[in-house]
Structure 1
Amino acid sequence: MEKLRIAVRKFDPFESTLQKLWDFFCIKNNITIEAEMVPLELHDLYEETITKKGLQNGNWDIAHLNTDWIFDAANQQAVLDLNPLIAENAPQNYPDGWHQSLLRLQQINKGTYGLPFHDGPECLIFRKDLFENPIEQQKFKSKFGYELHPPKTWEEFTQIAEFFNRPEKNLYGCVFANYPDGHNMVFIFCLLIWTRGGSLLNSRNKIDINRPEAVAALDYYRTIANNPKAVHPQSKDFGSVEAGMAFAKGEVAMSINWFGFASMCEVIEESKVKGKVDITELPHDKNHETASLNVYWLYTIGTGSKHQKLAYDFLRFATTAESDKLLTNEGGIGCRKSTWNDPEINKTIPFYHKLEMLHETALTLPQTPVWPKVAELIDKMILKALESNIPSEKLVKETQITIQNII
């Protein structure tokens, strides 16, 4: 029996939303073909869809791909250019229903290689109940000499993390997603560079991390990540989902993670911090601005799919304002402006409207086919930094030489 096969990013809210959307879609359009949805971890998802050419050979009809990979996928002709289909039958309120920053990265060589599915830039997620507690405020001020507030600088971030670190109460100052999957550690490293006024590119627009801001970023990262007086002890085994869950279970005071993990705290059953969460911009160096990172997820269609028209009809259905709102209520992050400003959503998740603010300072990673390989090298470098005493300067220099060879 023929099936429509969908490669899904493994995450409960994504899985439940997609199943509901498919069921509604079938009822509405009297469709009898079954959908087989396969949840995959990050590494496996890339492997299945791109490395093993699953989108080209018809193994997958639809796949969740993130914007780190889309350049690669488009260049390999693994994903369908949706422009002809959009011209014929555009998604509801396209493109005006979305913020510009969610439409850019899938535009490659005049083609459109996906529709926005899930988003939520990196931000600082914190326990507002702890920060607003008068006793904590008093204790903090007498210890550090300034008012307790979400950290504006990285120095304050360390002090506040140490202040709230109470292992005996199963509460830790901060948490990181330090499992080496080529993503989360790389993202934090990039954010630490940007918030120090640095860049990943040199004046010739080539990737070049051998510069003082990158050394300072790596120094800070290895120091804070190895600080037992500040960090959740399981950080080295956590991916972003596990780090998000630790925060939702009330084990952490502050987290640098995707916006989606903050909103998840307000909607999932396991959350012990409903109503106690807020988000703000990331800390930065004293003399520099804040920054965020925008990597988002797309719905894409495989060039080898035998069901391209059906797949596109489903994508149109899955990206309506109603479907976008459903994703948010399930614990994902809707991509439409209508969802961000929805009164019901903001009643449940009071900081939801702040997404617009994060998008204003959100930067993106270099769009180059070699980025996944570069990210892997940066990942290895960070891991080496966390597990050895090799000076950051040496690690950065050596990694740049290897990057140079790929480029």
Structure 2
Amino acid sequence: MAKLRFAVRKFDPFEQALLKFWHQYKELYAVDVDIEFVPLDLEELYDTLFVQHGLRNGNWDLVHINTDWIAQAFEQGDLHVLNEYLNRNPPEDYARAWSSSLLGFQNFEGQIVGLPFHDGPECLVIRKDLFESEKEQQQFFNMHKRELAVPKTWEDFLLVAEFFTRPQDNLYGTVFAGYPDGHNAVFDFCIQLWSRGGELLDKHGQVSLDQTTAVEALDFYRSLFRDRRCLHPNSVTYESVQAGEAFARGEVAMMVNWFGFASWAQIDSASTVRGQVEIAPIPANENISAPSLNVYWLYAIAEGSKHKALAYDFIRFAVAKEQDKALSLGGAVGCRYSTWYDADINAQIPFYNKLAALHETARTLPRIANWSDVAHIIDHTVTSAIHSEKDSLTLLKEAQEKLSGGGNSKTMKALDGH
């Protein structure tokens, strides 16, 4: 009997949804096939796919891969091109199912190597019960002689975060995911850079770190972790899932994190803030548009798989309307337009229909074949800023030297110029 192996991004809503889809698929098509879902953290997933060459050596048939890694996988020829399958037996409503913002990264001059699985751009996630409390509003006004409101600037963000920080109640103003895994701190740095009007790429399409705006961004971020006046004490060791879990436990008033953690906290039965979640634009400097970041997860087929047709058939089933909706109701984020505007979903998660607007303005990271190397250089710089005494400009100059020494030389042109 054939057996598929699926490398899954570790997150309980992902795992539960995929198990459900597989049981539905087997029952519907009466296939005599087994599957092994293997949940992996980010570092473990990258290691098995790229360091251990799991995409080409037959270890995996199906994989979750994010847009940070897609260019590297494509350049190495490690993902199976899906065009033949898509032309012969496309997914339901294939031509108009997804936003263009979810189709670009996996398209290499017409060669498609993945289909959207999970997304939800970064946003400000808040607890409505705190912001709408008359008691909290009065206390804030008594302290600051101004109305309590969702912060629009980073200065206001700090003010509100400090107000809600009450360690004796296990409540903190905010949480950031500072664990150095080459992802979270990099995303936060980019958000801080963009929210101050900076750009990650120069006019030649190369990553540029030693700039004034980047110094301001790094100074702000390191001060958050150094002062810790409003920061959840586990922020240094948390990655994004753990930060989202802290919010769902009611330990955080607001956070900049992925949309998916907002929807999860809103509906999960174990969430102490269930039904009390809202999203808002990420703070930015005055006269700067609120930034967001679009990094998404894909279903893909490993080039080394011996069961490619079967793997595609399951993907085609899993991305259909019914499954995409179920994914969202289970705590992940579906990618189809039909899901974003679904009446049942919006009844439970009233902010779900804001996804389309988020996608219209969300930025993307550069599509660079060696982005993982670049990201780890940035990640090391941010981590050093938190733990060392070197000033931000020195750290950024050192990072730029590493990039100029080869880490940035393979830069591919970023999609849409971003």
Give the TM-score range, shorter chain. Answer: over 0.9
Q: Deviations over 1:157-211 (max 9, x none)?
A: 1111000000001100000111110000100000110111111100111111111
What's the counterpart of residue 347 of structure 2?
347
1:179-194 matched pairs, under 5 angstroms? 179-194=179-194
Cα distance in 1 for residues equivalent to 2:74 and 2:370: 13
Partner of 1:72: 72
Question: What's 2:334 paired with?
Answer: 334
Give the C-alpha shift of residue 144 in structure 1: 2.5
Q: Which residue of 1 aligns with 2:222?
A: 222
Root mean square deviation, CA, Å: 1.0
What is the CA deviation profile of residues 17-67 of structure 1, one whole-angstrom value per residue up to 9, with x for unaligned ones?
Answer: 111101110111111110011111101111111222111121100000001
The residue aligned with 2:415 is none
1:247 alignment partner in structure 2: 247
Corresponding residue number in structure 2 for 1:297: 297
| SS across alignment from 2:21 | helix
Aligned to 1:234: 234
Q: Which residue of 1 aligns with 2:315?
A: 315
Q: Residue 279 of structure 2 aligns to which amino acid in structure 1?
A: I
In the alignment, the residues of structure 1 paired with residue 272 and residue 15 of structure 2 have an alpha-carbon distance, to the nearest angstrom, of 22
What's the counterpart of residue 174 of structure 1? Answer: 174
Q: Which amino acid aligns with 2:292?
A: S
Shift of 1:225: 2.3
Does residue 1:391 correspond to 2:391, yes or no?
yes
Query: What residue in structure 2 maps to residue 372 of structure 1?
Result: 372
Aligned counterparts of 1:22 and 1:50: Cα–Cα separation in 2? 26
Runs of 4+ in 1 over 2 A off after TM superposition: 141-146, 225-228
Q: Distance in 2 between matches of 1:105 and 1:225?
A: 33
Distance 2:404 2:29 in 1: 52
Aligned pairs (5 A) from 1:116-195? 116-195=116-195
* More off after superposition, 122-131 vs 50-59: 50-59
CA distance in 1, matches of 2:262, 2:137: 23
1:43 maps to what in 2? 43
Which amino acid in the other structure matches residue 16 of structure 1?
Q
Mapping 1:15-54, distance limit 5 Å = 15-54=15-54
Assess if the C-alpha contact under 8 Å between 2:267 and 2:275 holds in 1.
no
AA in 2 matched with 1:151: P
Partner Cα distance (1:299, 1:367) in 2: 18
| 1:402 partner amino acid | K
In structure 2, stretches of 5+ residues that fail to align are: 410-418
Report Cα offsets for 1:111-164 as digits up to 9, x if no partner.
111000000000100011111112211222232233211110001011110000
Percent identity reads 50
Q: Can you list the C-alpha shifts for 1:315-354, whole angstroms capped at 9, x where unaligned?
A: 1000001000111111110001111101110111111111
Whole-Å separation in 2 of the counterparts to 1:281 and 1:81: 36
Q: TM-score, normalised by structure 2?
A: 0.96
1:85 corresponds to = 85
Which letter maps to 1:54? Answer: G
User: Deviation at 1:226?
Assistant: 2.4
- Alpha-carbon deviations, 1:81-102, whole Å to 9, x = none? 1112111111111131111101
User: TM-score, normalised to structure 1's length?
Assistant: 0.98
- Give the Cα separation in 1 of the matches to 2:95 and 2:66: 19
Specify the alignment match of 1:204 in structure 2: 204
Q: Answer yes or no: is 1:105 the counterpart of 2:137.
A: no
The residue identity in structure 2 corresponding to 1:340 is W
SS at match of 1:288: coil
Letter in 2 for 1:248: A
Equivalent residue letter for 1:20: K
Distance 2:49 2:262 in 1: 29
Separation (CA, whole Å) in 1 of partners of 2:268 and 2:44: 26
